[in-house]
Structure 1
C-alpha cells in the first residue's frame, strides 16, 4: 500500500493507493490541500479513483467535490449522509475496491449519524469516531452519545489491538496510535459503562468550531466557501501594488479610475484621492451608468482587499478587461501612511 498523511493544522487526511494498479483514494481531504493531493498522486504514479469523507465535517471544508471535478473520481460517503453530491453511498460491511487495496467500511454513528471508519490492511481510518487520546464530540448536529458508545465498545474497539489508528484530527502533532494503545490509555474510553460514558460526553461543554455554519452549509450542499470564491476571483484578475497606484494617482493618469466598492459610510471616513464610489452590492446594476467606458483602467478598492478582488473579477466578466484589484485594501493603505481624503 502506498500511503501519505497530510496535516493541515489539526486536520489529518490521507492518500492511499495500490502500487500495482496505480489506483488511489483520498480520505477526508481539506480544500486548501487539493494541489498537494494531486501532486503526491502524480509523484507516486497514482490516479485518484475515489475521494472519501468519513462523515459530514463541521469544522473544516471538504475537498471531495473539488478533487472529483479535477480527476473524475467518485465521492464516497455513508448512505445516511445528508450531503448532496455523493456518487457512492456505502453501508456497514461494504468494501471500496481501490485496485488490489480493499477499504472495509464500518458504520460507526455517534459523532454524526453518517460517521464511518475504514479498515485497510494494518490500519484503520477512524474519522472523528476515535481520536488519539480522545473521541469525537457528540454535541454537533446529528451527534448521539449512546450511538458513539455502541460504535466504540460494540464494534471499533473489538478490532485487532495491533491495528494502527489514523484519525481525521489531531492537534498535538501526533501521527497515529493503535487500537490497543487507545484501550489502555485513552481517558474517554476509561468510562466503560454506557451510562457513565453518555453522561461524560453530554457534559464536555466544548466551544463550537469557528466555521461550523459555513462548513456544514458547503459540505452538505456542495456549494462554495468564501475562500473558494476569493481564490477563483484572484485567478481571474491581476493586481496593482499600493506604491504603483499612489504613483499613478499623483501623476493624474487620465484613463485611470479608482473604484471604491465599500459602503458610503466607510468611503466618507477616508478614501484614495479622486476615488469613485460604487458599492459592491450595486455594481452590476449601476456599472453601465457609472462606468460608460470599458477601455478605462479600473482599480477596485475595498477595506481588506477581498471584496475588491470579487468586484474586479465581476468587471472582467462583464467586459472591463483592464480591471485590476488593489493588492491590500484601505486598511493597509492607511497603515502605510499613504494619503486619504474624507
Structure 2
C-alpha cells in the first residue's frame, strides 16, 4: 500500500493508494494543503479516485469540494453529512474499493452525527471518534456523549487490538497508535462505565475551535471562506508596492486614480495624499459616476490591504481592466512614516 500522512498543525490527512492500479483515496484533506496533496499524488503516480471527509469538521476547512472539482472525483461522506456537495453517501458497513484496497465505513456518531471510521487492512482511520490519548469532543453541533460511548465501546474498541489507529488529529506528533494501546493508556477510555464517561465528556470545558463558525458554515454549506475569496481575488489582480506609490506621491506624478476604500472616519483621520474616497460598500452603486473612464488606471487601498484586493477584483469584473491593489495598506503606509492628509482634502 502506498501511504502518506500529511500534517497541518494538529490536523492529519491521509493519502493511500493501491501499488498495482495506482488508484488512491484522500482522507480528511485540509484546504491549505491542496497543492501538496496533488504533488504527492503526482510523485507517486497515483490517481485520486475518492476524496473522503470522516465527519463535518469544526476546526479546519475541508478541501474536499475543491479537490473533487479539480480531480473529477466524488466527495465521500456518511449519509447524514449536511454537505450539499457530497456525491457518495455511505451507509454503515459499506465498502469503497480502490484497486486492491478495500475501505469499510463504520458509522461512529458522537463527535458529530455523521462521523465514520474507515477500516482498511491493518489499520483504522478514526476521524475524530478516537484520538491518540483522547477522544473527539461532544460539545459542538450534533455532538452526543451517549452516542460516542456506544461508538467507542461497542464498535471501535471491539476491533482487532493490533489495528493501527490513525486519527484526524494528533497534536503531539505521535503519528499513530493501536487499539490495544488506546484501551490500555487512553485516559478517557478508563471511564468504562457509561454514566461516568458521559459525565466526563459533558464537563471537559474545552475552548471553542478558533474558526468554529466559519469552518462549520463552509464545511456544511459548501460556501467559500474569507481566505478563499481573498486568494481568488488576489489571483486576478496586479499589485503596486508601497515604495512605488510613495515615489509617485513625493514627485507629484500620481498618474492613476487612487481610491481609498475605507469608511469615512478612517478617511478623515488620515489618507494617502491624492486619494479619493469611495467606501467599499458603495463601490457598485457609485462606480459609474465616480469612474466614467473604463480605461483609467485605478489603484485601490484600504487599512490592511484585504478589502482593497476584493475591490480591485470587483472593478476588473466590472470592466476596469487596469485596476490594481496596493500591496499593503494605509496602516503600513502610516507605520513607515509616509505622508498623510487629514480631513477631506484630496
TM-score of the aligned structures, taking structure 1 as reference length: 0.98
Equivalent residue, structure 2, for 1:311: 311
SS at match of 1:102: strand
SS at match of 2:137: coil
The CA distance in 2 between the partners of 1:146 and 1:104, in whole Å, is 23
Q: Shift in Å at residue 135 of structure 1?
A: 0.2
Equivalent residue, structure 1, for 2:209: 209
Q: Shift in Å at residue 253 of structure 1?
A: 2.7
Equivalent residue, structure 2, for 1:66: 66
Q: Deviations over 1:72-114 (max 9, x none)?
A: 0100000111111110000111011112111111110000000
Kept after mapping to 2: 8 A contact 1:133/1:188: yes
Kept after mapping to 1: 8 A contact 2:254/2:274: no
The CA distance in 2 between the partners of 1:6 and 1:161, in whole Å, is 25
Q: Shift in Å at residue 254 of structure 1?
A: 5.1
Report matched runs for 1:223-238 at 5 Å. 223-238=223-238
Report matched runs for 1:141-290 at 5 Å. 141-253=141-253, 255-290=255-290
Equivalent residue, structure 1, for 2:9: 9
Moved more, 171-180 or 150-159: 171-180
Equivalent residue, structure 2, for 1:90: 90
SS at match of 2:38: helix
Kept after mapping to 2: 8 A contact 1:56/1:112: yes
Report matched runs for 1:130-145 at 5 Å. 130-145=130-145
SS at match of 1:175: coil
Equivalent residue, structure 1, for 2:119: 119
SS at match of 1:43: helix
Equivalent residue, structure 2, for 1:294: 294
The CA distance in 2 between the partners of 1:24 and 1:266, in whole Å, is 52
Q: Shift in Å at residue 248 of structure 1?
A: 1.5
SS at match of 2:322: coil
The CA distance in 2 between the partners of 1:269 and 1:4, in whole Å, is 53
Gaps of 5+ in 1: none
List, as ranges, runs of 4+ consecutive aligned residues in structure 1 with deviation greater than 6 Å: none
Q: Shift in Å at residue 294 of structure 1?
A: 1.8
Equivalent residue, structure 1, for 2:75: 75
The CA distance in 2 between the partners of 1:172 and 1:61, in whole Å, is 21
Q: Shift in Å at residue 252 of structure 1?
A: 2.7
Q: Shift in Å at residue 249 of structure 1?
A: 2.1
Kept after mapping to 2: 8 A contact 1:74/1:88: yes
Kept after mapping to 2: 8 A contact 1:161/1:180: yes
The CA distance in 2 between the partners of 1:173 and 1:66, in whole Å, is 27
Q: Deviations over 1:294-319 (max 9, x none)?
A: 22221110111111110111111111
Q: Shift in Å at residue 273 of structure 1?
A: 0.4
TM-score of the aligned structures, taking structure 2 as reference length: 0.97
User: What is the CA RMSD across the aligned residues, in angstroms?
Assistant: 0.9
Gaps of 5+ in 2: none
**Between Structure 1 and Structure 2, how many residues are aligned?**
342
Q: Shift in Å at residue 274 of structure 1?
A: 1.1
The CA distance in 1 between the partners of 2:233 and 2:79, in whole Å, is 35
Equivalent residue, structure 1, for 2:330: 330
Kept after mapping to 2: 8 A contact 1:255/1:296: no
The CA distance in 1 between the partners of 2:230 and 2:166, in whole Å, is 32
The CA distance in 2 between the partners of 1:176 and 1:333, in whole Å, is 48
The CA distance in 1 between the partners of 2:31 and 2:62, in whole Å, is 6
Q: Shift in Å at residue 250 of structure 1?
A: 2.2
